[in-house]
């Protein structure tokens, strides 16, 4: 039995070897033939290619479905992980906000109690008028803006003008439909201010540059770079606490202030009416009724 098996193997081995060689040569010849036919008869080859593609496409579609399903499943897992992380972050933020809410309610109740003990009288409600900057009439010797709101809109001389960043100036002139805004950087601007951290009083004077300067400081005043400057409310021209800027230079008794508001980026301003008369009072405006907002 073993001898017959060896005999068959000896006979079939050369046949297999020859078949492999001829198969390899046949594939090469077939590929060359396909290339030649494709060059000679391009129309029929395109048709044949299209038919082969049509026949193979359903098979490829079936084979690709599991891959698409796996990709979709992986995407869902990533989305669930992202949602989980976002949920954790939102929980942390919620807890933090709840803590702030509790602190705010406690301070509100304490503030209400202290006001009752001090018989505190709250200030008048603030009215405001939004206006758009239509012209910059400033130059080397003047820093002012023209607004598109005037007497008809309720703008009055001396009212403060602010943006979302802080105080920008005060109304220096009013027309029927326009008004002039004197910036805090103008040479003619003088604003009573206070250093927020030390409560040191001073006057902010414009210098016709981008940085006004603190003057009329008390003797021995300690002011450091980075201190916040806000309005003091003295003189009745401005309410107290309006942010102006920070001390940018403090050398040799000269204290420059970098305003929060950038003049070059001004488009809209808010004119505030605190009901203050102060040191700026025009005769015709005394008996004029304020517009209701």
Whether residue 243 contacts residue 165, with contact meaning beta carbons closer than 8 Å, is answered with: yes
Q: How many residues does the chain have?
A: 293
pLDDT at res. 139: 63
pLDDT band at 111 (very low <50, low <70, confident <90, very high): confident
Q: What confidence tens digit (pLDDT) does each residue in 211-251 have?
A: 999 999 988 888 889 999 999 888 777 888 899 999 998 88
Lowest mean pLDDT across 51-60, 79-88, 234-243, 251-260: 51-60
Any idea which of 49-58, 76-85, 87-96, 192-201 has the lowest mean pLDDT? 49-58
Mean pLDDT of 267-280: 72
Q: For residue 227, how many other CB atoms are within 10 A of its CB?
A: 19
* Predicted pLDDT at 108: 87
Supply the pLDDT for residue 195.
93
Residue-range domain boundaries for the chain: 127-285
Please give the average per-residue pLDDT across 165-187, as a whole number.
Answer: 91
Q: What kind of architecture, by CATH, is found in domain 127-285?
A: Beta Barrel (2.40)
Q: Which of 30-39, 54-63, 79-88, 119-128 has the highest mean pLDDT?
A: 79-88
Q: Is the pLDDT of residue 173 over 80?
A: yes
Please indicate, yes or no, whether the overall pTM of this predicted structure exceeds 0.75.
no
């Amino acid at each position: 039995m073993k001898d017959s098996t060896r005999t068959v193997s000896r006979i079939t081995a050369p046949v297999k070897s020859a078949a492999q060689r001829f198969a390899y040569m046949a594939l090469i010849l077939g590929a060359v033939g396909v290339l030649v036919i494709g060059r000679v008869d391009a129309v029929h080859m395109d048709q044949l290619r299209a038919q082969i593609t049509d026949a193979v496409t359903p098979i490829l579609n079936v084979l690709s479905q599991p891959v698409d399903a796996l990709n979709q499943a992986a995407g869902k897992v990533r989305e669930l992980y992202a949602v989980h992380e976002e949920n954790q972050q939102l929980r942390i933020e919620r807890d933090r906000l709840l803590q702030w809410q509790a602190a705010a309610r406690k301070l509100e109740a304490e503030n209400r109690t202290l006001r009752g003990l001090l018989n505190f009288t709250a200030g008048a409600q603030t009215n405001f008028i939004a206006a758009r900057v239509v012209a910059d009439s400033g130059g080397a010797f003047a820093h002012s803006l023209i607004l598109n709101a005037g007497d008809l809109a309720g703008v009055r001389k001396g009212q403060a003008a602010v943006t979302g960043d802080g105080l920008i100036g005060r109304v220096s002139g009013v027309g029927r439909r326009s008004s002039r805004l004197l910036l805090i950087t103008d040479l003619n601007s003088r604003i009573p201010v206070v250093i927020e951290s030390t409560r040191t009083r001073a006057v902010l004077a414009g210098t016709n540059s981008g940085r006004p300067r603190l003057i009329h400081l008390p003797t021995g005043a300690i002011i450091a770079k980075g201190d916040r400057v806000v309005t003091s409310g003295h003189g009745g021209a401005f309410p107290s606490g309006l942010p102006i800027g920070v001390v940018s230079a403090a050398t040799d008794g000269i204290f420059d202030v970098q305003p929060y508001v950038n003049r070059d980026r001004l488009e809209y301003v808010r004119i505030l009416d605190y009901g203050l008369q102060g040191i700026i009072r025009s005769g015709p405006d005394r008996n004029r009724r304020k517009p209701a907002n």
